[in-house]
Amino acid sequence: MKPPPPFIRCQRRHLPIPVAALCTALLFVIASPSSAETIRIYFDPAIPQIAFAAGDIQTALKKHKHTVETANLAALSKAGPGKKVVLALATDKSVAAMISAEGGKPASDLGEQAYAIRSTTKPDLSCWVQGGDAVGAMYGGLQIAEHIQFKGMAEAFHEDDSPHLKNRGIKFNVPLDKEAPTYFYDSRGTANRLAIRHVWDITFWKTWFDEMARHRYNVLSLWNPHPFTSMLNMEDEYPGIAIQGVTGFDKDGKDSQINNWSIDKKIAFWQEVMKYGHERGFRTYVFTWNIFLSTAEDKHGIGKGPLNPQTRTYLRKCTRKLLETYPHLTGIGVTAGENMDTEDTALKEDWAWDTYGRGTYEFAKDNPGRDIVFIHRLLQSDLQTTAKYFQPLIDQPNVRFSFSHKYSNAHAHAAVKPIYWARKKLEPQLDKLGVTSWLTVRNDDFFYLHWADPQFVREYIGNFPEVGKYVDGIYIGPDGWVFSRVFNSKDPLYESRNALDIQKTWYMQKIWGRIAYNPAVADDFFKSHLASRYPEARPDDLFAAWSKASRAVRLVSEQVTGDWSLDFHWWPERWTAKDEGYLTVNDLRKTEPMDGSDLADVHDTAKGDLDGKKSALENAADIEQLANEARQLLATLKPGSNHELALNLRDLEAMAHLSLFGAAKIRAAVLLEQNKPIETRDHLLTATRHWMLYADVMDELYIGADMQRNFHFKTWHQLDTAVLRELTDLGGPVSVDIANPYPWVRIVSPLHLQEIKSPADVTVTINAAAADQKPVEVELRDNGQLIQTSTERTFSYTLKASAPGDHVEMVAE
């Protein structure tokens, strides 16, 4: 006897994205006048933040066929008739007087980063922007530019806004060289290797700052274990430690000389980066993990370990030199851990104070006119011990001392209100010390998919501890990836644009930045951006599809990120962990929802012990509904000739399938916990089907990559064998036809009938399943003779005195 021939999985091939198609466009814009008008923009070109916003206003006006003239703000008093846009500081009394003279009400008491927009109509329509500072005026100007982009300049516009979070940042793990990689001190990841080239390219940073300023970010935090040998000239005292030139990698992972710059030229480069960031409203920070020493290690007595006095002196001098070298550096961030060779918290804090703390303190005392922010991460530390050593710095008038807390561990896109903060009981301790904390918002969730759900971000930020009193700001970013330029797209569109990752995921960046600035920003605002960028699609439907697909995949994460809370525990886009590889339904049975979630875990759901929480099965139903609704909407959206839209629609299709895969796995885990193998198998078949469909789209869109904190991979279908194995281990089919997976039949026991060497009794157990749960008729034949017909889900039959060459045939009808 031998098993039936295996089923062949028929892979569905998606047709190439059309380059042209007819479609109807619904635009959120008002048509420009038939006859072009001349509009004049008044601003002070000496204020770079305002000049940047004026450039965006000019671009928006020109797209509406207006003739644009620019003029110095000093010439405003001589302005004649005609429409105009005026950008100014709220402290400019002459501008305030003109607003009043033209029938408007000027703003008063604007704070930092705040703005007011006023429109007057006498004698002609004028838009006035007043900023509480230069950054506020820039934001107001950028808001005017968006308004013109959406509606033209045909109507009055009034708005007042100020930041909810005054510090809205990006966590940027910056690899500076092969010898100065970022976390975790190697270059395992493709994204990390390729980013070295881009972080030494000033055009990269100028584009990055411009784009992120439009999204209202204002903090860039650069994270590197030891940045000093790439950013400081300490050669007089420590010759031979500076990295001259930059060595990175090519696309094949081989060493590549990026440039041959001297250390002084490299310093000039980073000075230019920080200055440009300042001109876009950004505050720049440098963060370190410790103790890592790059090319300084084993030179001049410098070595690892917290007791080495030469290392302490060296890093203290590096800290002071960093602040001296970079006038636009706002502050530094320190981790008293990761590579300290000790678990003694007091020793670690003594070391951190003696190095970074004293270096900052001595510089601050000698430079009382320079304000500095010092951020001490809470990782592997505690507030009271830190305060004991850092009290002189806390008390220093020109130093703002803050802590930093990892708010959602590594997975921000999970629970809407994680409780790691509350569990540490930080607020009474912060009150006692009179200091605040930053929140690290880790996105080790989405390196490929373009996630975007404004409602989740609103609720997440709305649940923060009291902003201002306890929370200073946020920085968002991963440890397992470096977002630089797009390298992982198979489609040539992004490469042809030399696009940054943040440009590819512009919508995700926008919702986090804009909602952090103002959580009350309406959905209509984001729909307007979608309508402007993708006029071929109905904005309401595109917004809904994007939100539903993103919400569905987030709910999967919420269900599992209690134990799988760190980046190496779980990567949602592939369901892999650094050590375990593919995470199976048995792994899922053991994990819990993220701390702070109102979801019950798989075990309690199986027992019915919910304690007021939503069951995992209810969550799976929600995920399934959201993903299916997203797919229904996506089926109605046509990209026309908009190639970027076409790519995003496929991306959302993949996200929906990933969500349905997760929902089916959650159901399967509950049923397996209830010892229901047949029902478990049915849902794993559904999961397998959606995995195959997900992998089809991902392999269509993206290449694989080496991962910094997870499993390397070349293709998404590389995991097919592991996905199918957990199905076959429960008696499922050995292959799956994703187009028509039901019905299926498979001999389960014994697995290797062809190995019979002599006559023996063999029991054949046959499992049958159908998508609609209706009976499936199975015929069992022995050497062509019909032995039994059954419509039961499982049945067994013993073949007496089976011999080599016997053949069992199964037919499902």
Helix (H, G, I), strand (E, B) or coil at 489: strand
Same domain, 758 and 667: no
How confident is the model at residue 185, as a pLDDT? 86
Cα–Cα distance measured from residue 261 to residue 249, given in angstroms and rounded to the nearest whole number: 17
d(CA 23, CA 15) in angstroms, rounded, equals 18
Q: Do 573 and 702 lie in a common domain?
A: yes
Residues 678, 570 share a domain? yes
Among 398, 402, 174, smallest CA distance to 286 is for 174
Domain match, 567 and 511 both:
no
Mark which of 458, 487, 521 sits at the end of a domain.
521
Domain final residue pick, 521, 553, 578: 521
Omega before residue 750 within 30° of 0, cis? yes
CA gap 764, 752 in Å, rounded: 11
Cβ–Cβ < 8 Å for 316, 301: no
Residues 403 and 257 in one domain: yes
pLDDT of residue 750: 42
**185 domain residue, yes or no:** yes
For the record, the structure tokens of 190 come out as 């493709």
Order of strands across the sheet that contains 67-72: 67-72, 38-43, 84-89, 126-131, 115-120, 159-161
Residues 6+ apart with CB under 8 A from 612: none
**Residue 23 lies inside a defined structural domain of this protein:** no
Q: Do both 176 and 149 map to the same domain?
A: no
> What's the pLDDT score for residue 734?
72
Q: Are residues 748 and 691 in the same domain?
A: no
Contact call for residues 339 and 293 (beta carbons, < 8 A):
no
pLDDT of residue 198: 99
> Do 630 and 656 touch, CB atoms closer than 8 A?
yes
Of 108, 129, 154, the residue at which a domain comes to its end is 154
Report the C-alpha gap between 810 and 813 in whole angstroms: 10
pLDDT at residue number 742: 63
What is residue 7's DSSP assignment?
Answer: P
Cis peptide before 743 (omega within 30 of 0): yes
What is the domain-level CATH number for residue 64? 3.30.379.10
How many domains does one find in the chain?
A: 4
- Provide the pLDDT for residue 11: 31
CA distance 580 to 424: 29
User: Looking at residue 31, what is its pLDDT?
Assistant: 38
- Verify that 515 and 590 share a domain, yes or no: no
Report if residue 540 sits inside a domain. no
Residue at 201 is within a domain: yes
Q: Which structural domain range is residue 802 located in?
A: 744-812
The secondary structure element, H or E, covering residue 700 is: helix 677-701
Closest CA to 625 of 547, 552, 687, 543: 552
Q: Collect all residues with Cβ–Cβ distance below 8 Å to 551 and sequence separation of at least 6.
A: 453, 455, 456, 626
Please report the DSSP string for 23-58 in residue order: -----SS-PPPSSPPEEEEEE-TTSHHHHHHHHHHH
Q: Does 30 fall in a domain?
A: no
Does residue 549 belong to any structural domain of this protein? yes
- pLDDT for position 783: 58
Spatial distance between the Cα atoms of 106 and 84, rounded to a whole number of angstroms: 16
As a whole number of angstroms, the distance between CA 270 and CA 378 comes to 28
Strand, coil or helix: what is 223? strand
In this structure, is the dihedral angle defined by the CA atoms of residues 83, 86, 91 and 92, taken in order, positive or negative? negative
**Could you tell me the CATH number of the domain that includes residue 804?**
2.60.40.10
Find out whether 388 and 374 touch, Cβ atoms under 8 Å: no
Domain identity same for 99 and 57:
yes
Q: Tokens for 686, please give them.
A: 């559904």
Whether 405 contacts 441, CB under 8 Å: no
CA 558, distance to chain mean position in Å, is: 16
417 within domain boundaries: yes
In the chain, pLDDT over 90 holds for what percent of residues?
83
Closest CA to 621 of 677, 552, 690, 673: 552
- β-pair partners for 119: 127
The per-residue pLDDT for range 319-336, each reduced to its tens digit, is 999 999 999 999 999 999
Residue 690 lies in a domain: yes
Q: Could you write out the DSSP letters of every residue in 147-170?
A: HHHHH-SSS---EEE--SSS-EEE
Cβ–Cβ under 8 Å, residues 127 and 115: no
On whether both 686 and 636 belong to a single domain, the answer is yes
The verdict on 453 and 309 lying in the same domain is: yes
Q: Examine the domain organization and report whether 647 and 760 are in the same domain.
A: no
Q: pLDDT below 70 — which residues of the chain?
A: 1-35, 742-785, 787, 791-813
